[in-house]
Structure 1
Amino acid sequence: MTDVFQYMQSSADLRHMLMPCSIVQNPTFERPVCVQPDGMLLCQPGPVEPARAWFSARLALEVAALACAAPQDADQNGQKQARTLLAAARVTARAWRLSRFCQTLRPVAPPCTWGDVMAEDAVPSPTQLAACVADVALYVAPALRPAIVDDHALHVWACAVWPGLQPAEWLVMQGGDERLDPARQTGLNRYGCQPFPRYGELAFSSSTASTPTLPAARAIHQASVQLVRHAVDGQEGTACPVQETKAFLASFYHMDGVGRVVLAPSGTDCALAATALMGMVSPHITTILPGVEETGSGVPLATCGRHFACRTARGQDVAKGFPIEGFPQDAEHIALPLRGEGGSRVADEALFAACQQHITRAVQAGRRVLLYVLHVSKTGQLVLPASRVRALCALYPGQVDVLVDACQARLRAEQVRQYVALGWAVMVTGSKFFTGPPFSGALLLPDSWLNRLQQGSLPTGLAAYATRAEWPDMPATRCLPEGMNAGLFLRWSGARAEMAAFAAVPDAQKYARLHQFMVQTKAALVACPFVRLLPSVDLPAPQGAGEWDSLPSIFAFVVLAHGGALDFGQTKHLHRWLLEDLSDRLPAGLSEAEQALAALPCHVGQPVCLTTAQAGAGGLGALRVSASARHVSGTEGAVLAPHHSVARVLDKLGLILRFWPHLVQPATPRGTPVPPAVAACAPGQGRQGISSLALRQS
């Protein structure tokens, strides 16, 4: 088998781009691969060194995708053909900079004469562009080669589109904040995710974020090709892709049109958009946040009109915590914790009473109230039920707005539509339950909120976060800049693939598969001696019997060691080690099975901090194992982890606890005895155990 074809099939960052291929012996080929007009790739047999094999494969796949995206019309001496080859070269050169060949102390030079110059931010000279096109033409059949290249026209076009010609794995990390940035050593972002599939990973992290599956990665790549094709056709910056996403979401959630949909990178960006809309009604805003510790960490800042990260979605560096221009200066939030000592769940009656007290106080002070409702929280809790929320709104008609945080997306589309019909705005994402790439959010607007956009203007500072294309086309949104968030479009494209696959499963099967996950997961956690489930409140049963969203799909637990529960800091270490390959960090002498277990990447939800006196100021840390849409639809195909593989996650967790003293000494070579003093770093030493009442089985 040809080395180029092997790279296409085996490389995690190429497999989702695979096109139809044939292996042929043709001495007239001047390169290891030749792209045909129908998109087929003809690969020469024989050895090719790895760097050249990867580069040739990536370039051919980019050309083939663009050539198949639209017919290659005979136009102006092949102007579009030249643009297509140049765009493929630019994207490949940029992808090379992100590949494993460059993420080392000694980066490998690209195996071509034009790779470095095409990867730079500055547009090359007309002569350099023409030379690049001439070289790339050797990778394609004669029918795809431009007859004549107009150097000047090609350069003018390149200057107009150059920053947007980017590989999918780069674009999908843009248009958010620093949480999307990959770590240099691992390539993973702060959520433990990467832009393309991580094969072999046990993925139960949907309560936080997920790495894309193969079908989602294919959708992301196709969306990227669509953007490049628009640039080739001279339509760069068009808002059509954004409208496609809005139309999908409006249809999925049974909205009456795309005008109700606001796209935003994250749930926190959605909360910021809601604050902007609140400010159009009153300059004095009080946001009540029940369950504050189980929503996004930046939400309290966003509800006060302040920067919640160090970089905005449009790439502007800002000071976290500082006011955003144009947002209400008199905005406050009232945080109401969902859990008490040791993680015990605060009763709905107590939350209702606290919300009622604060609403009364705020309204009497002449303030507009925004009540933040979680459906559901980070640990799967409903805060508050709709009946309670309606009762609170009835206290002061017309003076209380409701924002439903449904970012976990663990509810039926009909329930979302019902919330909007009640006059409540709803935040959703494609990146939690649906496992699209992190940072794909949307805010669905009811009539009363939509009417606010008929006049006035949104806050000036919102322009650092959003473009006009992401908002409804109404008078108040025309202050936003033109353009589009390409990264947001790509991430939603991946999420749409997962959402469509989930929607195609009959409702009875959704319930059956999630019920099986629930039973097997709870059984594994209950049987494990070193974990305890957090107490929870059952979700209310919907009107129809056997609805999938009546089942719990997030299982939060604390980890016990030496008679105590791990604190938040220790649990963060545990979360990271579960995701890593630890086979080289554990002592020598492990069995083959233990070595395989140590190497197994296990992705669970990031720790949630629980306030408790026993754990001190840091609080306890609760990990989460979650079901997702992919567990229902099977979009991971052959690598879909069976539900009982939660037990494998617990096995690795036990292995980590067993060798905890060794892991806190990362520089210790394998086989070196661990000093006795290190035992003091083991989890749980000298701390009281968490109360059995607080950790009763849910």
Structure 2
Amino acid sequence: MAHPGSLIRPADGSRPAIDPALRPQSPLRELFAPLDQLLACGGDARIDLDPATRRNAYGCSPAPAPEIPGFSSCTASTISLRGYEAASRARDALMSSAMLHGLVECFDDRVEAMRGELKALLGLDHTATEIVFTSSGTDAQLVALAIACALLGDDLVSVIAASDQTGTGTAFTARGLHFGARSANGVVATRGAPIAGLGPVRSIGLRLRDTDGRIRSPSAMDAETLDIVESAVAQGARVMLEAMDCSKLGHTGPSDRCLAEIATRWPGRVQIVIDACQARLGNRRIAALLDRGFMVLLTGSKYFAGPAFSGAVLLPVQLAQAVGTLPRLAPGLADYLGRSDWPQRWQALRAQFPAEPNFGQWLRWEAALEEIRAYAAVPAKVRRDVVRQLGDDFARLIAASPSARLLPPQFPAGRGDEFARPTIFAFTLHSDGHPLSLAECRALHRALAEGTVDHAPCLLGQPVGWGGRHDDAVAALRLCISARHIIDIHADAGARDLIVADAAAAMATLEALLRQPSVSTDNAAKEHHVH
């Protein structure tokens, strides 16, 4: 199929080379492909399915698998039956309208309508805020950088908070570099090579852990952030500061007070971007961040448990107006985004992007929107109660596990919604009194996801490492609460017992796997070879 993700376009911008065997008779014919196949296209290599398991790099399937418990929303989730059916209905509706009015036009109109639906679900002003869709949170970071460069100028420094607890692609996107061997639009790239018109950008990473592996205090993070931004501005540079709303382990930083001071001291010289890709924040907070003039990066595929990958950049009114007047952005962005990803009213800017529909990204967002709708229908008190109850359950299960040690859960300050309590529960595993390394935890994570003769498969959040030269001396696995858990419990109070039982079974399986040296040793060796 010649959809984005299978269409191979040389990075020099010349005419794409398409395998004749994959060239369809008409673009509409692509929509007749199996839904599973469509949901797994239009992304970078991370979305590709393993031929043997039919799962992507995160162990997730493009088809519902309700028999596999999922506690992996901090990484990625398998699509739910609810989301899958929504994607199927959306595909059928587009087919019907496209045969009457044209595929590209109908697709563009549907994505624009989705933009309005997402604004409504997030409680945002339909006319003030704008949304740019992307195929992942990593791609959203590229959009944020491109916008910051266009508005602030080429002498830009990107400052990335919690650089040791964000996505691995951030080390590349923060510098305007290709983060993989293939873009969402199917462009062959060299990882680490500059994106046309964007990279390389000077970038500074601010770590949450010090050189000894200890979590730094919020005041230390604030002080370093202010010092680095002030120094960069004093040297004549402009700054894009990417703050962390919720890291892989649930941390935030710098503080809201620090961000407010930076915005007040250096208006027009510093653009603040909030990495909220975990989506573990309420609508009021999103609105407040936008009101301060910050860009917000979001996904439908983390907390909301939509299928990976689906990203978005939320732009406040001031930035939306400024971006809408730009004639173009970095030309290399056309490798990653299509015309429909941009609001229809930005006609001049849209013209630089390919008109071909990205069916995979669209369908994944259709599924994610269905999850967000279902979540929005749950009363706020129920959400808070379920997060508290499940959180207590998960913490208790981890504490009861002989080999597990719960990391201190994070309680974000000043939040009165369900996210005032933690939804990510990270824990280390210990053998002979020593914490397991990143390679060992990856091996256990893979064994748990694949299942064994004696143990059913289960998805946990991928391990996060720290310590040592390569942040791999120690690692933590993650047991996560997602919107899907809350939706299910609201629909059936008995679902909580089933969810807790599944989590208990996962912890018991990890204990059993730890007692099988061949599993951890052999798989750790494989992980070391791969990574």
Provide TM-score, normalisation by structure 2.
Answer: 0.89
**What is the alpha-carbon distance in structure 1 between the residues aligned to residue 500 and residue 384 of structure 2?**
14
- The structural deviation recorded for 1:164 is 4.3
Distance 1:501 1:335, change over 3 A: same
Which of 459, 479, 498 is matched with 1:603 structurally? 459
Correspondence for 2:62: 195
Deviation of 1:240 after TM superposition, in Å, equals 1.7
Find out whether 1:523 has 2:396 as its counterpart.
yes
* In structure 2, distance between residues paired with 1:332 and 1:503: 40
| Cα pair distance change 1:269/1:560, threshold 3 Å | same
- Native 8 Å contact 1:520 1:644 kept in 2: no
- Who is 1:313 aligned against? 184
User: What is aligned with 1:481?
Assistant: 354
Counting only pairs closer than 5 Å after superposition, residues 648-663 of structure 1 correspond to structure 2 as 648-661=505-518
Shift of 1:644: 4.4
Residues in 2 aligned to 1:346 and 1:493: alpha-carbon distance in whole angstroms: 39
Q: CA deviation at 1:393?
A: 2.4
**Which amino acid in structure 1 is aligned with residue 311 of structure 2?**
G
Q: 1:485 to 1:540 in 2, by over 3 A?
A: same
Is residue 434–residue 628 contact of structure 1 (8 Å, CA) maintained in 2?
yes
Stretches of structure 1 lacking an aligned partner (at least 5 in a row): 1-89, 91-118, 124-157, 584-594, 667-679, 682-698
- Tell me the distance in 2 between the aligned counterparts of 1:343 and 1:491: 37
**What CA distance in whole angstroms lies between the structure 1 residues aligned with 2:161 and 2:447?**
32
Amino acid of the structure 2 residue aligned with 1:293: D
8 Å Cα contact 1:604-1:623 kept in structure 2: yes
Q: Deviations over 1:239-270 (max 9, x none)?
A: 12211220111111222226601001111111
Match of 2:197 in 1: 326
Residue in structure 1 matched with residue 22 of structure 2 by the alignment: 121
| Residue 495 (structure 1) shift | 0.8
Which deviations, in whole Å up to 9, do the C-alpha atoms of 1:451-492 show, x marking residues without a partner? Answer: 133133111111111112111232333322223321111001
Please point out which of 170, 179, 191 is paired with 1:299: 170
Matched, 1:572 2:442: yes
Point out the structure with max Rg over C-alpha. 1
Contact 1:216 1:494 in 2 (8 A): yes
Equivalent of 1:253, from 116, 122, 127? 122
Identity of aligned residues (%): 30
Give me the whole-angstrom Cα distance separating, in 1, the residues matched to 2:220 and 2:162. 12
Alignment of 1:216-227 (within 5 A): 216-227=83-94
User: Contact conserved, 2:79 with 2:307, CA < 8 A, in 1?
Assistant: yes
SS of match in other structure, 1:623: strand
* Counterpart residue number, 2:237: 367
- Give distance in 2, aligned partners of 1:411 and 1:418: 11
Separation of aligned partners in 2, 1:441 and 1:322:
23
Deviations 1:205-226 (A, max 9, x none): 0000000111111112212223
1:76 aligns with none
**CA separation in 2, counterparts of 1:536 and 1:519?**
11
Aligned to 2:103, the other structure's residue is in SS state: coil
- Report what 2:318 is aligned to: 448
Q: How does 1:400-479 map to 2 (within 5 A)?
A: 400-450=270-320, 451-472=322-343, 473-474=345-346, 475-479=348-352
3-state SS of the aligned residue for 1:403? strand
Q: Which residue of 1 aligns with 2:367?
A: 494
Conservation of the 8 A alpha-carbon contact between 1:253 and 1:413: yes
Q: Is the contact between residue 290 and residue 336 of structure 1 (CA under 8 Å) also seen in structure 2?
A: yes
Name the CA distance, whole Å, in 2 between partners of 1:193 and 1:216: 14
Q: What SS does the corresponding residue of 1:382 show, helix, strand or coil?
A: coil
Report SS of the residue matched to 2:139.
helix
What is aligned with 2:433? 563
Aligned pair in 2 of structure 1 residues 562, 420: CA closer, same or farther (>3 Å)? same
With over 3 angstroms needed to count, the CA separation of the structure-2 counterparts of 1:394 and 1:160, relative to structure 1, is closer
Alpha-carbon distance, 1:167 to partner: 2.0
Distance 1:164 1:390 in 2: 47
1:373–1:402 CA contact under 8 A, matched in 2 = yes
Counterpart contact for 2:42–2:135, Cα < 8 Å: yes
The Cα RMSD (Å) is: 2.4
Worse overlay, 253-262 or 423-432: 253-262
In the superposition, relative to structure 1, how do residues 166 and 350 fare at CA in structure 2: closer, same or farther (>3 Å)? Answer: same
User: CA distance change for structure 1 residues 160 and 176 in 2, over 3 Å: closer, same or farther?
Assistant: closer
Gaps of 5+ in 2: 2-19, 526-531
Q: With CA pairs under 8 Å and 6+ residues apart, which has the higher RCO, 1 or 2?
A: 2
Task: Rate the CA distance shift 1:662–1:445 in 2: closer, same or farther, 3 A.
Answer: closer
CA deviations over 1:318-361 (Å, ceiling 9, x no partner): 111100111154x1111111123665321111111111111111
User: Could you tell me which amino acid in structure 2 is paired with residue 244 of structure 1?
Assistant: A
Runs of 4 or more above 4 Å deviation: 635-640, 662-666
| Residue number among 108, 112, 127 corresponding to 1:243 in the alignment | 112
Cα distance in 1, alignment partners of residues 99 and 116 from structure 2 = 25
AA aligned to 1:121 is L
Quote the residue 1:17 is aligned against. none
Q: Deviations over 1:124-148 (max 9, x none)?
A: xxxxxxxxxxxxxxxxxxxxxxxxx
Helix, strand or coil for the counterpart of 2:260?
helix
Secondary structure of 2:104's match? Answer: coil
Report the secondary structure of 1:650's partner residue. Answer: helix
Q: Size of the alignment, in residue pairs?
A: 498
More displaced stretch, 206-215 vs 468-477: 468-477
Alpha-carbon separation, structure 2, partners of 1:559 and 1:502: 33
Match of 1:338 among 208, 218, 232: 208
Letter in 2 for 1:606: Q
> 1: CA distance between counterparts of 2:357 and 2:507?
43
The answer to whether the Cα contact below 8 Å between 2:179 and 2:191 also exists between their aligned partners in 1 is yes
Query: 1:205 corresponds to which residue?
Result: 72
Distance in structure 1 (CA, Å) of the matches to 2:218 and 2:26: 59
